[in-house]
Amino acid sequence: MSQLSRWWRVGAAMLVALALPGFTLPGSAGPAGPVTIGFLEKWPEPQYAPYFHKVVADYQQLHPNVTIDLQAVADQPYKDKIRVMTAAGALPDIFFAWPGDFATKFVRAGLAADLTKAFYGSDWHTRLGQGPVEAFTYRGRLYGIPMDVQAKFFTYNVAIFRHNGIVPPKTLPELFAACDKLKRNGVAPLGFGNTFGWPAIHYITTLNSVYVPQAVLQRDYTPETGEFTDSGYVQALATLKQLLDTCMVSPTQANGVTNDAAIAEFQTGRTAFMYNNNYWFPYFTTSGGAPSTIVDNWNYFKFPSVPGARGDQAFLTGAPDGFMVSSRTKHMDVVIDFLQFFTSKSNAQLMTKMLGWGSPVIGSATAENTFPLLRQSIDDINQARGMAVWLDTATNALVAQAYLAGTEGLINGTKTPGQVMKSVQEAAQAAKKEVTGK
């Protein structure tokens, strides 16, 4: 058993079975006596911290009897800190979580509070987009509240498309035809860099959702039941290989190119389009320091549909960040009230203005706090039927690593789709044994 699994099992063993207290409706008078709430997030950097400090200060001003003990630890140290706190049975009342297997570990261990009643028992659920909320739903119950949104779209150079007589493709065959035409005209179609492995994983996240039914994905992404034997997984890998071979000039060299370098090539017009996170959309604006070759000369389109594929193509690839609540909290009413305050429209609008992040709060992106294309992408996310969460966080770490190594081999030509899936299936069996002991 891995050290990580021991941490989770120790944390679960130390959990005392406590009945969760009820919650009061938002806007109530609040607690009669002093209350301190622990709040752990992962943005200590000076460009991010002021937003969190302001929200906490504003809440405390409205509720003088409440103290929010805000702590922030950066990305990798956060992972280490939350493991130690879990093992010690000392989770804070509110803590950051990525959706997928990272979050469901807390659920399976009994360490995360079920927020379903609180969320759907008031108008709270009408304020947030369905897709981001679904990302924190496990077996029909809600265990996390999304606080931002991000998803993948193809950004494209409008001038290059127009000059070559290409319109944004709606189907994958149309995308391949556009790539063939661009190549014939001497234009490099697709920008792509995979030095760190995750860019290819984002493609596979999308293509798995396209080719594999959602029920099968949910079963396989859960380590206790994962098998990865559906033929759609091989189709997804084969399609990625076909896409790169068709749309790149030197596809086998992609593992040696960083994502930042690929973005730079797109920014300067050396490639026609790129699969981008809308988190990076500000990089293509004047305020984001973009060169004149791309400012006011770009747009985006969703991943084209694949005729006949068996998955749910209304999903968008991406994931919100979010917060979970300790099942041991003694102040559920205050915790819920604070999270509702955090996800109010005014605070969501402030987050987008101060940090440039999209929010799951419907209508929070406005002409005053963002620019049209980012606002449109946020609306697309909040209107999506669901989110295909990044595969490397949605699955067990062993499965994610097998996919990372496998897609790198697929790109450089040393592995076939079938060989990649064989290693993933072996990793899934190892993950099942690690989690269940069988």
Tell me the pLDDT of the chain averaged across its residues. 91
pLDDT at 26: 46
pLDDT at 27: 42
pLDDT at 252: 95
Instruction: For each of the domains in the chain, give its residue range(s) and CATH number, in order of start.
Output: 3-149+319-384 (3.40.190.10), 152-316+396-436 (3.40.190.10)
- Inform me whether the pLDDT recorded for 284 exceeds 80: yes
Q: CB 396: neighbour CB atoms within 10 A?
A: 25
Contacts of residues 239-244 at CB distance under 8 Å and 24 or more positions apart, as own/partner, are 239/172, 239/207, 239/210, 239/211, 239/306, 240/200, 240/203, 240/204, 240/207, 240/407, 240/410, 241/410, 241/411, 241/417, 242/176, 243/172, 243/175, 243/176, 243/190, 243/203, 244/190, 244/192, 244/411
Mean pLDDT confidence for 393-413: 96
Q: CB 128: neighbour CB atoms within 10 A?
A: 23
- Inform me whether the pLDDT recorded for 1 exceeds 60: no
pLDDT at 17: 30
pLDDT digit string, tens, across residues 183-209: 999 999 999 999 999 999 999 999 999
pLDDT at 76: 79
Nearest to 266 by CA among 403, 179, 160, 137: 160
Mean pLDDT confidence for 257-268: 95
Question: pLDDT confidence of 28, banded at 50, 70, 90?
Answer: very low
- Inform me whether the pLDDT recorded for 145 exceeds 50: yes
- Inform me whether the pLDDT recorded for 8 exceeds 90: no
5-9, 316-320, 359-363, 429-433: lowest mean pLDDT where? 5-9
Mean pLDDT confidence for 54-67: 97
- Inform me whether the pLDDT recorded for 19 exceeds 60: no
pLDDT at 117: 97
- Inform me whether the pLDDT recorded for 85 exceeds 70: yes
- Inform me whether the pLDDT recorded for 7 exceeds 90: no
Half-sphere exposure of 124 (CA within 13 A, CB side): 23
pLDDT digit string, tens, across residues 298-357: 999 999 999 999 999 999 999 999 999 999 999 999 999 999 999 999 999 999 999 989
Q: Which residue has the tokens 């950066």?
A: 74
Q: Is the dihedral of CA 408, 413, 417, 423 positive or negative?
A: negative
Q: Look up the pTM and report it.
A: 0.84
pLDDT cut 90: percent of the chain above it? 84
- Inform me whether the pLDDT recorded for 5 exceeds 80: no
Question: pLDDT confidence of 141, banded at 50, 70, 90?
Answer: very high
β-strand pairing of 152-157 with 273-277: antiparallel
Question: pLDDT confidence of 20, banded at 50, 70, 90?
Answer: very low
pLDDT digit string, tens, across residues 94-117: 999 999 889 999 999 999 999 999
Cα distance between residue 118 and residue 104, in whole Å:
19
- Inform me whether the pLDDT recorded for 4 exceeds 90: no
- Inform me whether the pLDDT recorded for 241 exceeds 70: yes
